[in-house]
Structure 1
Amino acid sequence: MVSKVHNRHDHSYKLLFSYPEMVRDLLTGFVKEAWVEQLDFSTLEKVSGSYVTEDLRDREDDVIWRVRWGDDWLYVYLLLEFQSSEDKHMAVRIMTYQGLLYQDLIRQEAFTPSGKLPPVLPIVLYNGEKRWTAAQNVAELVERVPGGLERYRPDLAYLLLDEGAIVNDPAWSDQMRNVAAALFRLEHNRDEQDMLEVLGALVEWLKAPEQTGLRRAFVVWIRRVLLPSRAAVVELPEFSDLQELHEVHDMLAERIKQWPERWEEKGRMSEARDNLCSLIRLKFGEVPQWVELRVEQADHAQLKAWMDKILFVDSLDKMFKP
């Protein structure tokens, strides 16, 4: 079962890459192939990602775009599959999605001027912590059988963009004006000042009125994904009503000044909880789950009161009695 955290993460990425600026910067910044230079990014158009298979089961892909290529209105379809955890059979999923896409294009008679199907670029955008190791071509997943049968083995690759590998590559340049690159830096950076720097750059890049939607999409992702991953040092309710990117930047700049003090306070609280649980184990044995919950929810004054009380009680019930 996919966790709610992964769903929230993937859905927020889907929202971000519903804007043409994100797709344009993803291609120009990270697809180092000559054909990208021939694309007319002013024609980027999002198309439906919902298909109905022959047995009438609905299948919804992530984000699909098309873009004009040269003078002949040749379309390149970009099939983006977002992953926050590795799927070792991703190549099979991509093959299935691409087949569904081609079936839909055939129904629409969306052929190239020569009567053929348009090319498809399948991209897996991976934002997990560990590096991606799954096969990037479905042929790698199918047993090779000699005697001629190998001719029928499917051969379909996808383009993997592993964010963690990109930002940790010595050749990586974080100086480009690229909103997709800024997303990657925010996703994988644990330095508070660098995070502020990237947010400041995004505020500057996305200040035009026509970029309001993308600014708001970044705010949604920051509030629902980025900040919860740093909830130990960020009071999330303070950010819940923020709607603009510059507001998030300014609030974070103020909060980051307080982070060292908060880390020190969290350290004292953690030490007090550990000390109390150690005393409970010494006197009463294992710490019951209901006691762990009470200890976790207590403030520093309550923890100190329990530590003073433990010497004079003969049961946990008496110790935690209101």
Structure 2
Amino acid sequence: MRIKKEMHHIHDKSYKDLFSNKELLVDMIQNFVKSSWIKEIKKDNIELVNKSYILSDYEELESDIVYKATIDGREVIFYILLEFQSYVDYSMPIRLFLYMSEIWREVLKNTKQAEVKSKEFRLPAIVPLVLYNGEYKWTVEKKFKNIINKSELFGNNIIDFEYILIDINKYEKEELMELKNLVSAVFLLDQKVDIEEFISRVKDIAIDFNNLTEEQKMMLRHWLRVTLSDELKGNLGEKIEDILIAKKEEVNRMTSNISKTIKETFAKTREEGMEKGIEEGIEKGIEKARQKDVEIVLKLLTKKFGALDDVLKKKIEKLDSDKLSSIIENILDIESLQEVIKSI
């Protein structure tokens, strides 16, 4: 049973909604990025840029979020590309390079030429991040230089940068449980796990994530609602969502009931599938036997009366098993093809 929807645009929208909240963005950077500059990023010096830089070639694949921060009087732009494909995309460094170029192009377009030409002018720093939740290991080069042919010949004379990868599935459950914030809760529920483990994680979050505000619980509930698979939609999906906002004394009872319902549903689905398989198997067996009878009838008639015309062959190929059996049983008594034609 699929727990999460595979469609990238669902995750696209849900993650963009979440990380358009700058507090969550800062929490993610502080907890999942290991760089010295993260201590400079605070909720009061970061701002969401209300502009998209997605290129037309990739607009169906991803959603971008751009933040800018002011550090020591200098502007730093964080470009976040949310990547939700189930397969690894080796063009990522190229795509990021194009996005960064577009951002700088926008900066230059809105800056006076005299200022651009001055000795003091500096482009804003851009830190590209890739948030990845795919099933397979991310094996794409992180350094741009490594995808340039014969880059070793040119050393520092060619452009280079390294993007930051946040791979949701590489974090251990215990590591995420220890953080107890909204970002780690989302990562816990978006990892590839079976249905029983998924329900267990919803329960653990409801009981142990005491730092979540009511607003954050509702944000998590909404995220869960739009990303649950079709199998868990409807009444069952609502019950799963309700665990997140239930009183702690009710959580164990609710998860127990949901687990029981899922097991019963799975057992029923499996039983129905087996019955369907048996029925399909019987039908295939009957059709196979009928086709064998068609071959026998055609051979017997050809041997007794010579070559058959195509019209008669097609009629015989459409006969049911009873009529085919009748011809086989009475083949010695049949004196002409006209008798066969009349009988079918």
Name the amino acid aligned to 2:22.
P
Relative to structure 1, the CA distance from residue 270 to residue 217 in structure 2 (aligned partners, 3 Å threshold; closer, same or farther) is same
Identity of aligned residues (%): 19
- Aligned partners of 1:144 and 1:150 also within 8 Å: no
**Cα distance between partner residues in 1 of 2:224 and 2:100:** 31
**Cα distance between partner residues in 1 of 2:137 and 2:97:** 22
**How does 1:167-178 map onto structure 2 within 5 Å?**
167=172, 172-178=175-181
Match of 1:162 in 2: 167
**Cα distance between partner residues in 1 of 2:321 and 2:233:** 39
- Secondary structure of 1:81's counterpart equals strand
Match of 1:274 in 2: 277
> Unaligned 5+ residue runs, structure 1?
287-312, 316-322
Name the amino acid aligned to 1:236.
G
Q: What is the number of equivalent residue pairs in this alignment?
A: 271
* Structure 2 residue corresponding to 1:196, chosen from 178, 195, 203: 203
The normalised TM-score by structure 2 is 0.66
Match of 2:103 in 1: 101
**How far 1:4 moved relative to its partner?**
8.1
Match of 1:294 in 2: none
Relative to structure 1, the CA distance from residue 61 to residue 83 in structure 2 (aligned partners, 3 Å threshold; closer, same or farther) is closer
Match of 2:125 in 1: 119
- Secondary structure of 1:180's counterpart equals helix
**How far 1:237 moved relative to its partner?**
5.3
Relative to structure 1, the CA distance from residue 133 to residue 19 in structure 2 (aligned partners, 3 Å threshold; closer, same or farther) is same
Relative to structure 1, the CA distance from residue 25 to residue 271 in structure 2 (aligned partners, 3 Å threshold; closer, same or farther) is same
Pairwise CA RMSD: 3.9
Match of 1:134 in 2: 140
**How far 1:14 moved relative to its partner?**
1.1
**How far 1:115 moved relative to its partner?**
3.3
Deviates most, 129-138 or 251-260: 251-260
- Aligned partners of 2:64 and 2:80 also within 8 Å: yes
**How does 1:203-242 map onto structure 2 within 5 Å?**
205-207=212-214, 211=215, 215-225=217-227, 227-228=228-229, 231-232=230-231, 234-236=232-234, 239=237
**How does 1:1-322 map onto structure 2 within 5 Å?**
5-51=7-53, 62-69=64-71, 72-85=72-85, 86-109=88-111, 115-144=121-150, 149=154, 152-167=157-172, 172-188=175-191, 189-190=193-194, 191=197, 192-200=199-207, 205-207=212-214, 211=215, 215-225=217-227, 227-228=228-229, 231-232=230-231, 234-236=232-234, 239=237, 246=245, 253=255, 254-285=257-288
- Secondary structure of 1:246's counterpart equals coil
**Cα distance between partner residues in 1 of 2:271 and 2:58:** 53
- Secondary structure of 2:142's counterpart equals coil
**How far 1:107 moved relative to its partner?**
3.0
Larger radius of gyration: 2
Relative to structure 1, the CA distance from residue 116 to residue 246 in structure 2 (aligned partners, 3 Å threshold; closer, same or farther) is same
Relative to structure 1, the CA distance from residue 4 to residue 265 in structure 2 (aligned partners, 3 Å threshold; closer, same or farther) is closer
**Cα distance between partner residues in 2 of 1:220 and 1:275:** 41
- Aligned partners of 2:93 and 2:141 also within 8 Å: yes
Deviations 1:245-302 (Å, cap 9, x if unpaired)?
Answer: 527x97973533422222222221121111111111111249xxxxxxxxxxxxxxxx
**Cα distance between partner residues in 2 of 1:276 and 1:121:** 58
**How far 1:235 moved relative to its partner?**
4.3
Relative to structure 1, the CA distance from residue 8 to residue 25 in structure 2 (aligned partners, 3 Å threshold; closer, same or farther) is same
**Cα distance between partner residues in 2 of 1:139 and 1:109:** 29
> Unaligned 5+ residue runs, structure 2?
290-319, 323-344
Match of 2:301 in 1: none
- Aligned partners of 1:43 and 1:67 also within 8 Å: yes
- Aligned partners of 2:45 and 2:70 also within 8 Å: yes
